[in-house]
C-alpha cells in the first residue's frame, strides 16, 4: 500500500511537471524530462519500476526539486 501511494505521488508530480513545461518551457527545473519520464514509467509499468530507483529518487532528487520549486514560488 505504501509503495502504491509513493508511486501515485510520482504520477502527480510528473503530470504537474508536464503541464508546467507545456505552459512555459522556459521554466528551469533540473531533471524536468526525467521527472516526466518517471511518471510515464510508473503509469505504464515500463520495465517494472525498481524499488531502488524509487528510493534513490526520493533521497537524491526530491530535495533538489523541492528547493527549486520553493525558489520559483518566491
Instruction: From the candidates 4, 41, 44, 60, give the one annotated as an active-site residue.
Output: 44
Residue pointed to by grid coordinates 529518487: 57
Name the active-site residue from 4, 8, 39, 41: 39
- C-alpha cell read off for 27: 521554466
19: left (phi over 0), alpha (psi -120 to 50) or beta: alpha
Cell numbers standing for residue 9: 505521488
61 in active site: no
Active-site residue flag, 19 = no
Active site amino acids: 39, 44
Amino acid at each position: 500500500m505504501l509503495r502504491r501511494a509513493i508511486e501515485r505521488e510520482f504520477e502527480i508530480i510528473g503530470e504537474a511537471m508536464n503541464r508546467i513545461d507545456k505552459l512555459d518551457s522556459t521554466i528551469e527545473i533540473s531533471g524536468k524530462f526525467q521527472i516526466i519520464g518517471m511518471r510515464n514509467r510508473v503509469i505504464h509499468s515500463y520495465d517494472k519500476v525498481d524499488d531502488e530507483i524509487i528510493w534513490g529518487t526520493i533521497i537524491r532528487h526530491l530535495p533538489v526539486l523541492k528547493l527549486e520549486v520553493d525558489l520559483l514560488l518566491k
